[in-house]
Copies of this chain bind each other. A is one copy, B any other.
Amino acid sequence: MDKLTAVSKIKGFGVLPETVRQRIAAGSGLQHIDRGSSLFREGERAHFVYAVIEGAISLHAGQDNASGGIADFLGAGDAILIPPALLDLPYMATARAVTDVLVLLIPAVEFRRLAESELSFAIVINRTLAMHWRLLFKQLRQAKTRDADTRVARFLLDNIHGEVNTATVLLPSSRRQVAAHLGMTPETLSRAFRRLRDAGITSRGSEVLVKSVSQLAVIARRSN
């Protein structure tokens, strides 16, 4: 995979002028990461911005053990943890490769220099940060919801794209990790699925079948 094409695959970066993309590509490097190993740890100095080109990543907050919980799942095209790199502050999370992964590492120094000199790049970063902010805010709202079933229902809805009424959702990783992401134990997740069976949710392996999206939406809304 060419570095320049990798840069172009990052969300929003496609609109950047050729010259800027080339500058980004020139300074950065591609790297393969084995499934299960970690890209960086919480508290480390932010030397790079990481962009996922292929595969999936999980972001863990709190300390390294399981209790902290998973903040988010990232997939292809997502750039991670721009803020620490931009502000030259330590990472606030630990990233782990859920699958085998191809990442583009952009040196923080170069990243900052571009963000402060190239208007087109600054604009793209603004949009990206703004979108990330919204996602995070949504998560925060989710997290404050006490009810387990509701959280699961909403999670499923967030992973259904399009206007269909019957859909299958592919869980991003093991149930254990999904549970952590939703702020609950694997046992509770299991029971939640059990209860949602009446609402037309069937789970086989890492595939979840949603019979009626609209019905699921009702559950997600009630006792908000």
Contacts and interface: CB of A to CB of B under 8 A. Distances in A.
A200 B187 CA distance: 38
A182 to B, nearest CB: 10
A67 interface: yes
Interface string A37-67: 0000000000000000000000001110001
Contact of A92 (B84, B119, B126, B137): B137
Interface in A6-58: none
A48 to B, nearest CB: 16
Given A115-B123, A130-B83, A131-B83, A140 B224 contact: no
Question: What is the total number of copies of this protein in its complex?
Answer: 2
A164 interface: no
Interface residues of A, number: 40
Given A71-B137, A141-B68, A130 B130 contact: no
A175 interface: no
Nearest to A141: B61
A77 interface: no
B144 A69 contact: yes
13 contacts: A67-B224, A68-B144, A69-B144, A82-B130, A83-B133, A86-B127, A93-B137, A116-B119, A116-B123, A122-B123, A136-B137, A140-B143, A143-B143
Closest 3 A/B residue pairs (Cβ): A83-B130, A122-B122, A129-B129
Given A69-B141, A87-B127, 12 more contacts: A61-B140, A62-B224, A82-B130, A83-B131, A86-B126, A92-B137, A117-B119, A119-B119, A129-B133, A139-B140, A140-B143, A143-B143
